[in-house]
């Protein structure tokens, strides 16, 4: 199976590329806007800017993938709120380019989405929960989903929650790495205790994407961890795991933060469909920390 991955230099993109590169039955073409971040043993790499329609048309027509997995997106929630044109270009217009090229190539599109399409009134959420975004990032990702759903191609949408992990060169941060770095530097951090998520190990999300592709699954799948945790819970668990000063982690609530974008309070996913249909089995948060620790010590 020939699979083209977009956003291959991102956290998920790197983990997914490494996973697919190790599968003998997969012909991987990893793509990203910038130069290649990780070496591949079997797969190939091409630069691709998915916001450039001509570039998308050219690359997909040349590669002729059976499956395109779109991990590329603008995910900085506050930047999406303040840079709306850029956000729409990356999260909606670019998806339209991919849909159009997949239709011409008769390729399936597996598109990554987010828990931020929901309003945060309840969780954990099943796939049929009613979307109602409370920020522009969520609006853009929901609009991208709509383009995929209404297309004439074979598709699957993989939604996820608060992804953490370590990239090559540790070039990208996330909540776990931020907490670890801050506490190692002796900084006091304030972390909200009134938001709930199911944090997701990047390797688990990559496996979920692979399972959707290999099992030829279609429709919407919620792929995340299964433990409901607040960011404060995550910070304390991280501090304990790495033997850092717990007193530096101070609980607070969302009302104390003045951010451009509103965050949904309670999301998190019910992953029973992914378990039953795909055989998806995420690691515990503690096991995820151990995997991350082994990677950053190399």
Residues with active-site annotation: 137
CA distance to 51, 80, 195, 248, 269, per residue, from 221 (Å)? 25, 24, 22, 37, 10
Q: Are 1 and 25 in contact (CB under 8 A)?
A: yes
Q: Which residues contact 298 (CB under 8 A, 6 or more apart)?
A: none
Q: Which helix (H) or strand (E) holds 177?
A: helix 175-184
Q: In whole angstroms, give the CA distance from residue 239 to residue 245.
A: 7
Could you give the 3-state DSSP secondary structure of residue 290? helix
Q: Are 101 and 57 in contact (CB under 8 A)?
A: yes
Q: Are 231 and 189 in contact (CB under 8 A)?
A: no
How is the beta sheet containing 2-6 ordered, strand by strand? 44-47, 27-32, 2-6, 67-70, 108-114, 155-160, 219-222
Query: 75 φ, ψ to 5°?
Result: -115, -5
Using the Cα atoms of residue 46, residue 50, residue 55 and residue 59 in order, give the sign of their dihedral.
positive
Q: What is the DSSP annotation of 17-69?
A: HHHHHT-TT-EEEEEESSS--S--SS-EEEE--TT-HHHHHHHHHHH--SEEE
């Amino acid at each position: 199976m020939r699979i083209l991955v977009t956003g291959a230099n991102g956290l998920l993109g790197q983990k997914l590329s490494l996973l697919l590169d190790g599968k003998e039955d997969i012909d991987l073409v990893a793509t990203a806007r910038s130069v290649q971040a990780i070496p591949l043993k079997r797969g190939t790499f091409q630069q691709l800017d998915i916001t450039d329609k001509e570039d998308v048309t050219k690359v997909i027509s040349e590669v002729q993938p059976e499956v395109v997995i779109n991990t590329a997106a603008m995910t900085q929630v506050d930047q999406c709120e303040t840079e709306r044109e850029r956000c729409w270009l990356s999260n909606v217009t670019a998806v339209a380019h991919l849909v159009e090229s997949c239709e011409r190539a008769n390729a399936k599109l597996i598109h990554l989405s987010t828990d931020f399409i929901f309003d945060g009134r309840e969780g954990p959420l099943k796939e049929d929960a009613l979307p109602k975004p409370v920020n522009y990032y969520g609006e853009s990702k929901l609009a991208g989903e709509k383009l995929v759903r209404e297309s004439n191609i074979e598709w699957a949408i993989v939604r996820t929650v608060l992804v953490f992990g370590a990239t090559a060169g540790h070039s990208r941060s996330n909540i776990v790495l931020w907490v670890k770095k801050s506490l190692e530097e002796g900084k006091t951090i304030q972390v909200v205790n009134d938001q709930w998520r199911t944090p997701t190990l990047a390797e688990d999300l990559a496996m979920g994407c692979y399972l959707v592709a290999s099992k030829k699954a279609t429709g919407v799948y919620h792929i995340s961890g299964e433990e409901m945790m607040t960011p404060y819970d995550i910070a304390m668990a991280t501090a304990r795991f790495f033997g850092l000063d717990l007193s530096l982690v101070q609980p607070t609530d969302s009302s104390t933060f003045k951010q451009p974008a509103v965050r949904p309070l309670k999301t998190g996913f019910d992953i029973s469909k992914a378990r039953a249909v795909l055989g998806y089995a995420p690691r515990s948060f503690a096991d995820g920390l151990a995997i991350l620790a082994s990677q950053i010590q190399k």
